[in-house]
Structure 1
Amino acid sequence: MKFWLQIKVVILLLCSFFALGQAEYIHNDEDFGVSDIHFDQIIQYSHLAKLLGEHNQTFLGQTKAAPCSTDPKLMLGYLLFTFLNTSANILNDVSAQCKQDIVTVNHGYLLQKQWALQMLDSIDLFPGSGLLTGNIVHYPGNLEECLDVSDIPGAVKTGHWMLTLVSTDIRYAYCPSGLGFARIGKCFPCSCSNQDIQKISDDYLASTLEVPHKTKVLNKNFKGEEPEGVTWGDVFMIIIASVIAVIVLGSTVIDVVENVLEIRIVRQRMLALTQGFSLYTNTSKLFATHAADTSNPNLMSCLNGIRAISISWVVIGHTLFEMCGTGLLIGNGYMIKNFGVYREDNGPLDKLFMTPFWNGMFSVDTFFLMGALLIAFHTLREMDKIKDKPVQHWIMFWFVFYLHRYIRLSAIYAIVIGFHATFLKALATGPNAHLLLNQADQCERGWWYNLLYINNFVSNIHEDARAYNCMGWTWYLANDMQFFIITPFILYMLWKSPYIGVVLCNLLLVAATAIPFALTWTDDEQFFHGKQDNFYIKPWDRFQPYLIGLLLGFVLHHMRNKKTVNFSIIFNVFMWLVSAVCASSVVYGLHEYNIIKEPEITMPPYEPPVADRAFYNGLSKLSWSFAICWVIFTCVKGRGGVVNSFLSWGFWEPLAKLSYCIYLIQYTVVYWFNSQYPTSQIYTNTLYMYTAIGNLAVCIGLAMVLYLCFEVPLAHAEKILFGLMGIGRMPSASKRNVSVKK
């Protein structure tokens, strides 16, 4: 085995030197390393380097950024960086143990030791195929082969570092080599610290390649790593999870004995308290589906289909962005060999059918609209019931209104945040473990912003907002809670004086349209949908769908006694066509502005005209909301036809119930999968769809666990709490299957 490994390495070395040109290896007693790699001399013998430089500039679209043409030279040269590139003066600046182990490794290499050769073999030393299609940035090496060296007797303990490059020169700011986009795996002794590796790598870049780039260590993996000390947060989460587990399992046993084995062991009152925690009962309820009752005008079964499709759209869209977006230092753990194919005309991402996947931001607006609709519809009905009650009753009504909402959203939200801040680190074992480690660190620092629902303003509070951006995708929940806080004032006006309430909503709608329009018109950096930190996640960009949802809930409340609406078939068909045009135009209308294919169009001077961007950002959510409103209205009022039958299909109901838990964990699932993937891949739309479907399936499975073990039990605990406080009814048990003997 050792012989064949040596032969393999020798053949690879000979092939690489034959292909690239000449390189001079100098070994002496002082260096124990490789020095004076004349990469410039190698390049000048290769017509491929020039071709790569010209082609690189073409598929990057950086017509004015000539420095990007040096990316192939830089990245191919950086592949030759190993533990052999360590001269004596470099080692003088690293820790003593790291220096000693590197010297040992170099001796082992000179003596052709298997473990030293295996360390070298675990590093991508040579460019692979597909250089002309972008295979110049992702070379993760072989993590397992590197770490397995530690198990060989006589070998040094090894570690695998995932490195990236960041430019220190503004001219390289938008080149892949300087964006932090690269993923380069290197195998070194694990006694070296991140600072040691960064020092050695930076010296190599400066002295050998002479480029204005610095190394950034993304993460380090090694065997036998001692876990960090248990924190109070870890202890707290273990206690919480253990208590809930005991309650859920105990309640499940009681429920099964009572209702399956038909043995009476507890009183009816105790069964009522415990049954809501039972896995048996809650699983039955999760998969219980109900056919659409068209005789009930207040049943909104169509929302199940809309909710299920929208959450699936969210997961599939985020999968694409993390697979194909640059992601810089925080994302794109999914390593692609042919990322140049993204820029091809009529390439895989230039297909019309792919547009909804990269322009799927409206899925979140659908949730804003549905949430507001349900709040308005149910709250207005409750307000009718207490219209003659004294002021004290109204005060208690609004107190419960806010308290219930906070507990309902925050209980499972806090559990998931806690898992991120504590247990998530245990899953960070892959080559791109930093994707999960970053999330754990961010939640450990910024969890309280999330529970106060102000995490969409972290960038306004901290200069380094990324360090506190716990579960960054939950900006939606922050906006939703901020809208919810002011909702009672709007609903009261709609209930007390419908005319004034409708006028108020329309005035707010005008303001919510004018603000994103004006912000885009006055800021050249605002692209379609706006910048993430100061536009996309802010409430003034998201208020339109919520307001329209409130108005729709108001309309359906006043029409609650009408089973259907009377308008002609021609008018119905016409409005369905109008709504289809409104929805498809805002999604497919940006097809020619594909930000994955041409990321430079998001920045001046390549961006589209300001009028296009301003009108789109001001009106697109109105157009989308109108389309969704029409679908819901006609389905609820019996004019939805086959669309209502499809959206009200019982198949969607379990998925709709899981949608909140899916949303909470979906990005973490994407990050986890990307962090574990050991090699770079060739992108195809087929690969993307399989990956997206796989991510969705994992999300559904994990969401079921969260739903049954935490969300539903915590909601049941809230009912018990409100019952004990006297502001709600105590839960009741389902009918016993056991007959009681006298």
Structure 2
Amino acid sequence: MKGVTLIIVLLSAVITQHHYGFAMDATAAAQTATCSLKDNCNIEDNLLSVAGEGGDQSPSSQLENKIASLFEDKVNYSLKFFAEETIIEYNALERNLSNMAANFTLKQIELENEQPDDIEENEREYIYNIGQKFISIAQPFDASRNPEASELCRLHTRQYLESLQNFDLWALRMHDSTGKFTSGILNGNINQPGDFDQCMRIKYQMKAAKSGNKAGANVDANNAEVEAIIDGDAGDEIKGQYCLAYAQPVLPHKSKRLQKFFKLLQSHGPFQSEFDDPGHRVPRYSLVNWGICVPSSCSNKDVEYSVKEILNNMTASTGISFKVRVEPQMCQFKDNKPWDRNTTWAVRFFVTILSITILSTIYHHCTKNKQSNPWLCAFSLEKNLTWLFSTSSSADDIQAVHGLRLLNAIMLLFSHKSMAMFFNPYNNRTEMSESLGRSWTVIGRAASLYTDPFLLFSGMLTAYSFFGRLNKGQSIRLKNEYISRIIRIVPPLAALILFCTYILPMWGSGPQWNLVVGHHADICKKNWWRNLLFIHNYFGFSEMCLTHTHHLGIDTELFAVAPIMILAMWKWPRKGMTTLLVLCFIGTAARYYTTVVNELSNYIYFGTNIQRLFRTADYMYSFPPMRSTVYIMGIFLGYGLRQFRNIRLSRNQLRLGWFVSIICLVASILGPAPMGDINYTYNSTHAAIYAAFAPIAWCIFFCWVVFVSHNGYKNGITKFFSWRGFQVSTKLSYAIYLTQFPIFFFNVGRRRHIHHYYNFVSIILDTNEYICIFLASVALTVLFDAPFQNIKKILIKRPSTASSTAITKVSPNEINSSKSTSSTITSPIETCDDKTLESSVKHLHSD
């Protein structure tokens, strides 16, 4: 066909001129044409006249379609690009090539529209020009740049780019959904999530035929495979796929000006992170997050390759480069969450529990004034809610513990919330980092400190209950105590793991959903059994199911060995105390040594890196021997409360005790304040002193408050912490501990858009979030915690004093000779006299 000859001649002329330098006019290379390119005539008329010279074939719609398709596929990109790069100095020829593309694009608009727009011809050209201008503002993302991209990805991407040129709405939405850099970069506005929801809603049905012909029928034989893909069911629909790409700039220069620029770009780096760092628990703050919308047929590797190419092209000849990663789970499209059999069984399980609860409530209500079956009333909402909000207590209750536990729980809740806050994108991250890089932020950086009092109280209540039973001559069976603990701790934990693994991932979506929700679920699918055996704290944070539950493992393991320590104090008071003091000293020295040698930090200083945080968690924070010091302090406190009840203290002794305890409190909380400064440089000695002595100093204050309060020395502080209303928080504390991080991460994963940081208080005091935590905690308590406490009481009946050994005071020698001594220990959730105290110890908080 002569029309094709014209194109070949034109290409030959361009190539000849480029390679051999001949100054040949473009019109001489197209002598067979009725008009030249320089005359700026309509290329359509030119081709029609060429076709008519042969006399064998008249102009037809089929010829126009064939020429348009061939030009669009073979010339629109390669020839225009070749012309611009090769003969850019010939402005006239370049303008004519643009007109050629414009005319044939307008022709394609007419062919592709099922219902042609009722607009004038010049308005069609306006639409094309608008599309070109729109594209020129921000380059459309081409995911098919990867040489290894699939044919389907290439096809869908080409369709997307063509439709974008044609100003098709679905393509405009895909382009618009991709994040684009805007102003405020030096203020930390570098995370661009794009429009997640708009991208996920995109769905375009590719047309199987054009003008009565199959799609691709006018393309040469080399595109036969593409034609087959179009005709298949898998390739005829384009879905929007949202991918979150991570990019890390690499700056080889030593220029202070550039270093200052990147320091502002990364918001001073309160958390230093790398690609290989786990990002599901602590935010990878140094990386740039870029939301990109591409066809769902393209893989994460296709997106990663294209992002890397675009960024490196932007920084060419600057010495700056980018590392890019797009993880498979960070690419999402609609309906790609499988509803498997395990999810079905999980739903059935929770429906069964709800059904049992409803039936139990009805039964309990109908038999309220009659003798009811305790098994059938165990799940009654009425019964369990009454117990939950009851504030009654016995005279032997250690009342101050409830208020002190609540104080540390609130501090820990705020610390966890501040950690979750750093996952969210802000348009003024640099300003936020500068405001948080001050000494007062020590309150939120000492999260590990707030967990130590719970170990202290656990050891205290274990020893308090144990010595109390021994003094009353009651037998204590270890087997029953361990079973009692498992019955009361495992059901809420197992229910939470089941929910977060199979149901929660199906409940929402968002740019970071698969990072903070889906990734946790994937880990739990593999390692859930470690949590139920309470050994998960030995396998590292990066592969731990629900990392915030590590404290359960620590406390359970310390509780398992507590009988040895407590019996040693009972049988050999002097030697036992000396041994425990030596263990405290060894634990303190071990924390100091380990911190210095491994360069750890139990304190989240400004500029810490994620690798150091995870090493600290693995080597020290989740390792029971390193946390045993405060637990042993609790054993000493429990012993003192039993042996020195109603001790008389002078006014000077009270003043000295309050002075020392307050000094310890202030030193532990304000001592590391300089480590939170924005200009702080890590010092292993500072970190070692904090790790070794801060937990001891912090817990001394709480030991003193409990001791003087329990012995009747009241003042404003002891009266406040002894308020009986805090007993409700004790019963809820275990559920609050379990539910807070799933709710925090649920909201992080659903966060769609960039927010503005105003102040720390407005972020931390998220009332809606805390209401959700409270309601979820109540639900978990009345559906799993309280019912299984009722079942435990039915299965395991404690021996009464009358049925026990008939002695009121037991000497160490008598205990040693008794057969029950071999099984003598109590759970911290089982006290001798007080039902409220029975439930208090199990509810332990953790980081």
TM-score by length of 2: 0.67
Residue 131 of structure 1: aligned partner: 185
The alignment status of 1:214 with 2:327, answered yes or no, reads no
Query: Which one of 620, 624, 633 corresponds to residue 535 of structure 1?
Result: 620
Following TM superposition, by how much is the alpha carbon of 1:315 offset from its aligned partner in structure 2, in angstroms?
1.6
**Is residue 369–residue 546 contact of structure 1 (8 Å, CA) maintained in 2?**
yes
Following TM superposition, by how much is the alpha carbon of 1:219 offset from its aligned partner in structure 2, in angstroms?
4.4
Q: 1:251 to 1:373 in 2, by over 3 A?
A: same
Residue 413 of structure 1: aligned partner: 493
Residue 335 of structure 1: aligned partner: 425
The alignment status of 1:234 with 2:343, answered yes or no, reads yes
Residue 359 of structure 2: aligned partner: 250
Residue 478 of structure 2: aligned partner: 398
The alignment status of 1:306 with 2:394, answered yes or no, reads no
Q: 1:178 to 1:412 in 2, by over 3 A?
A: closer
**Is residue 364–residue 372 contact of structure 2 (8 Å, CA) maintained in 1?**
no
2:676 is paired with a residue whose SS is: coil
Residue 777 of structure 2: aligned partner: 703
Query: Which one of 434, 449, 454 corresponds to residue 530 of structure 2?
Result: 449
**Is residue 516–residue 540 contact of structure 1 (8 Å, CA) maintained in 2?**
no
> Take 2:82 and 2:705, find their aligned partners in 1: how far apart are those partners?
69
**Is residue 586–residue 620 contact of structure 1 (8 Å, CA) maintained in 2?**
yes
The alignment status of 1:473 with 2:548, answered yes or no, reads yes
Q: 1:277 to 1:108 in 2, by over 3 A?
A: same
**Is residue 513–residue 544 contact of structure 1 (8 Å, CA) maintained in 2?**
yes
Residue 363 of structure 1: aligned partner: 450
Following TM superposition, by how much is the alpha carbon of 1:491 offset from its aligned partner in structure 2, in angstroms?
1.0
Q: 1:679 to 1:152 in 2, by over 3 A?
A: farther
The alignment status of 1:104 with 2:159, answered yes or no, reads yes
Alignment of 1:465-614 (within 5 A): 466=542, 468-526=543-601, 528=603, 531-560=616-645, 562=646, 565-594=647-676, 597=678, 601=680, 606-608=681-683, 610-614=684-688
Following TM superposition, by how much is the alpha carbon of 1:278 offset from its aligned partner in structure 2, in angstroms?
0.4
Following TM superposition, by how much is the alpha carbon of 1:132 offset from its aligned partner in structure 2, in angstroms?
2.7
Q: 1:398 to 1:300 in 2, by over 3 A?
A: same
Amino acid at match of 1:641: N
Following TM superposition, by how much is the alpha carbon of 1:31 offset from its aligned partner in structure 2, in angstroms?
6.8
The alignment status of 1:160 with 2:242, answered yes or no, reads yes
Q: 1:431 to 1:299 in 2, by over 3 A?
A: same
Following TM superposition, by how much is the alpha carbon of 1:159 offset from its aligned partner in structure 2, in angstroms?
1.8
Following TM superposition, by how much is the alpha carbon of 1:624 offset from its aligned partner in structure 2, in angstroms?
1.0
Following TM superposition, by how much is the alpha carbon of 1:280 offset from its aligned partner in structure 2, in angstroms?
0.9
Q: Deviations over 1:300-323 (max 9, x none)?
A: 122111222222222210111222
Query: Which one of 132, 146, 149 corresponds to residue 202 of structure 2?
Result: 149
Q: 1:492 to 1:365 in 2, by over 3 A?
A: same
Query: Which one of 177, 193, 215 corresponds to residue 140 of structure 1?
Result: 193
Following TM superposition, by how much is the alpha carbon of 1:107 offset from its aligned partner in structure 2, in angstroms?
0.9
**Is residue 661–residue 704 contact of structure 2 (8 Å, CA) maintained in 1?**
yes
1:275 is paired with a residue whose SS is: coil
1:640 is paired with a residue whose SS is: coil
Q: Alignment length, in residue pairs?
A: 613
Q: Deviations over 1:447-481 (max 9, x none)?
A: 1121222212113xxxxx62x31111111111111
Following TM superposition, by how much is the alpha carbon of 1:702 offset from its aligned partner in structure 2, in angstroms?
0.6
Give unpaired runs (5+ residues) of structure 2: 1-73, 86-135, 208-236, 254-258, 276-283, 605-612, 805-829, 831-847
Amino acid at match of 2:365: V
> Take 2:603 and 2:202, find their aligned partners in 1: how far apart are those partners?
50
**Is residue 83–residue 102 contact of structure 1 (8 Å, CA) maintained in 2?**
no
Residue 632 of structure 1: aligned partner: 706
The alignment status of 1:718 with 2:792, answered yes or no, reads yes
Q: 1:216 to 1:111 in 2, by over 3 A?
A: same
Following TM superposition, by how much is the alpha carbon of 1:719 offset from its aligned partner in structure 2, in angstroms?
2.6
Residue 608 of structure 2: aligned partner: none
The alignment status of 1:190 with 2:296, answered yes or no, reads yes
Whichever of the two has the greater Rg, that structure is 2
Residue 812 of structure 2: aligned partner: none
Q: 1:527 to 1:216 in 2, by over 3 A?
A: same
Residue 722 of structure 2: aligned partner: 648
Q: 1:692 to 1:33 in 2, by over 3 A?
A: farther
Q: 1:34 to 1:400 in 2, by over 3 A?
A: farther
Residue 19 of structure 1: aligned partner: none
Residue 74 of structure 1: aligned partner: none
Residue 435 of structure 1: aligned partner: 516
> Take 1:335 and 1:244, find their aligned partners in 2: how far apart are those partners?
39
Q: 1:646 to 1:687 in 2, by over 3 A?
A: closer
**Is residue 462–residue 638 contact of structure 2 (8 Å, CA) maintained in 1?**
yes
Q: 1:147 to 1:612 in 2, by over 3 A?
A: closer
> Take 1:420 and 1:681, find their aligned partners in 2: how far apart are those partners?
27
Following TM superposition, by how much is the alpha carbon of 1:376 offset from its aligned partner in structure 2, in angstroms?
0.9
1:607 is paired with a residue whose SS is: coil
Q: 1:36 to 1:289 in 2, by over 3 A?
A: farther
Query: Which one of 404, 420, 423 corresponds to residue 322 of structure 1?
Result: 420
Give unpaired runs (5+ residues) of structure 1: 1-26, 39-78, 325-331, 460-464, 730-742
**Is residue 150–residue 223 contact of structure 1 (8 Å, CA) maintained in 2?**
no
Following TM superposition, by how much is the alpha carbon of 1:227 offset from its aligned partner in structure 2, in angstroms?
3.4
The alignment status of 1:284 with 2:386, answered yes or no, reads yes
1:158 is paired with a residue whose SS is: strand
2:293 is paired with a residue whose SS is: strand
Following TM superposition, by how much is the alpha carbon of 1:153 offset from its aligned partner in structure 2, in angstroms?
10
Which one is further off, 199-208 or 424-433?
199-208
Which one is further off, 209-218 or 443-452?
209-218
> Take 1:111 and 1:471, find their aligned partners in 2: how far apart are those partners?
49
Residue 62 of structure 1: aligned partner: none
Following TM superposition, by how much is the alpha carbon of 1:98 offset from its aligned partner in structure 2, in angstroms?
1.9
> Take 2:517 and 2:751, find their aligned partners in 1: how far apart are those partners?
13
TM-score by length of 1: 0.75
Q: 1:692 to 1:517 in 2, by over 3 A?
A: farther
> Take 1:81 and 1:516, find their aligned partners in 2: how far apart are those partners?
54
Amino acid at match of 2:199: C
> Take 1:498 and 1:633, find their aligned partners in 2: how far apart are those partners?
20
